[in-house]
A and B are shown apart, each in its own frame.
Chain A
Amino acid sequence: MKIPALSVEKLSFWYHEKKVLHDISFQINPGERVGVVGRNGAGKSTLLLHLNGLLRSTGNVYVNGVKIEKKSLASIRSQVGFVFSDTEDQLFMPTIIEDAAFGPLNMGLSLEEAYEKADSALARMRLTHLRNSTPHHLSDGERRRAAIATVLSMNPSIWVLDEPGANLDCQSRRELITLLRSLNGTVILASHDLDLVLQVCDRILIIEAGKLIADGKVKEVLSDENLMKPCGLEVPLRLQIENASVHYEEKAL
């Protein structure tokens, strides 16, 4: 039997007496690309923070069959790469190269190996020319690529990305979509950009008020207006046009 990359069982989380997540359960298979969507404050980021043990509460989370607990945290965090929504939080070291090497060094690699991995991650993100720059002097698009490079250097099998498309211009967003599609491994991303989710993911989870409302194929779920509207979501324009043209063709026939 194939071991799921991620398995979440009856996950609940309270924040100051308020229940933010309600008995959430789902499984994600290796190589799947899953989008997590929902309105502001629905609990998307809180859910993601549980996936590499940054938050822990009642219920269990398994990564590649290993339960997240104190003794497994170090190995789990080298398998689950987390890209935060605010790149200024993700890039905390004085220079980009030091940031990209932060993870590999914590994984116990030697200075040379960590350096090598950091450099190759920066090269893949086309940031070699900025390796000694301070993150503050980069554009939003460059910072997003640098944030991804800091995780890429750890070569995780599971990627968790919180709002990867935030604050990006059209070209940077297009580059990001291509990049996300090229990532190896399992990808879980939370986003308000449903068009990005549609292009990157093949499965989608809708979270509403801390509950898992829908779990299905991305196109089917995103096309279902009756499901989307009560969750404060809108059918992406691309799908609206597609549905309208199908409807028009059916009518014409």
Chain B
Amino acid sequence: MHHRRVEQIALGRSWIHRLDPRIKLPAALLLVATIATRPQEPWFHFVAPLTLILLGLLLAKLPLGFVFSRTLMVLPFVAMVALFLPFSQGEEVVHCFDSPGICIYREGLGAALAILLKGILAIMTVAWLVFTTPFNHLLQAMRALKVPQVVVAVLAFLFRYLDIMADESMRMRRARLARSAGRRVRWPARSTGGMVGRLFLRALDRAERVYRAMLARGFDGEIRLFAKFVLKKSDLGFASVLLVFVCIYGSFTHAGRGI
């Protein structure tokens, strides 16, 4: 259902939504790359890109609560990376625990904070892109920007068939539950393994059938996507503003170690 909500929001009518995806996609990537390559300290310089992203979200009239809740879902993955840094990096000890014999280092804490901040900002940038651009427009933009066809095709099929696979796995889980007679399933790992295997085989079968359906309509190896984009003044204005921001922000912060 969330997938559907994201699509609905992406079909919005704000001027940010109407920007050419061939500009929006590289702009988002440029911003992510800039944020990722900034130094860890002082951490408050991250306020600048945060302000820009928040401005972008507001101008697109996005439901901020929903966007942030989506962003938070990805956060644990970033946190996993940052989790061990305070214990493994640096020389200046902040605190030592006697019993397990591990110490927290100041440099490590800084690095963890920077990774968290960079991760959040990168996710918010991608969220801004995804919430303001329908997925098929993103795919068309990728083709227009000469991203290899096979990459775009894989993404297109993933987008198309992910929901179906999720539905299939839900039906299988429901069938297992229906026959578990209200008890906890014995050997859940065994039945889950079977379900994953079954899902894989179904996906394989479906891939063959889809390929057949493509051949039936004259598929010759090239997926031709519609790309009817026209560059407007607002697109160039947006690109210029972003480039100016990146130059100024970049010159005030020295390039540091990336994530």
Q: Which residues does A use to contact B, with CB under 8 Å?
A: 49, 52, 54, 74, 77-78, 81-82, 84, 86, 88-90, 92-95, 97-98, 101-103, 105-107, 111, 115, 132, 134-137, 150-151, 154
Contacts and interface: CB of A to CB of B under 8 A. Distances in A.
B96 interface: no
B203 to A, nearest CB: 12
Contacts of A151: 217
Given A77-B217, A115-B226, A132-B11, 13 more contacts: A54-B216, A77-B216, A82-B216, A82-B217, A84-B209, A88-B161, A89-B209, A92-B157, A94-B136, A94-B160, A102-B217, A103-B217, A136-B164
B218 interface: yes
B214 interface: yes
Contacts of B7: 134, 137
Contacts of A93: 156, 160
Contacts of B213: 82, 84, 89-90, 92
B215 interface: yes
A132 B220 contact: no
Interface in B47-94: none
B204 to A, nearest CB: 13
B226 A111 contact: yes
A98 B136 contact: yes
A77 B219 CA distance: 10
Contacts of A77: 215-218
A93 B161 CA distance: 10
B159 A94 contact: yes
Contacts of A101: 226
Contacts of A106: 217-220, 224
B210 interface: yes
A117 B7 CA distance: 26
7 contacts: A54-B212, A77-B216, A88-B164, A89-B213, A93-B156, A102-B219, A103-B217
B206 A88 contact: yes
A54 B215 CA distance: 7
Contacts of A88: 161, 164, 206
A161 to B, nearest CB: 12
A212 to B, nearest CB: 23
Interface in B204-254: 206, 209-210, 212-220, 224-226, 228
A69 B217 CA distance: 16
Contact of A136 (B139, B163, B224): B163
A94 B135 contact: yes
Contacts of B11: 132
B209 A94 contact: no
B12 interface: no
Contacts of B226: 97-98, 101, 111, 115
A101 B223 CA distance: 11
B136 A86 contact: no
Interface string B145-170: 00000000000110111011000000
A111 B227 CA distance: 9
A84 B212 CA distance: 9
A252 B181 CA distance: 59
Contacts of B134: 132
Nearest to B155: A94
Contact of B218 (A49, A74, A98, A137): A74
B224 A105 contact: yes
Nearest to A74: B218
Nearest to A82: B216
Given A54-B212, A86-B209, A88-B206, A134 B160 contact: yes
Nearest to B164: A88
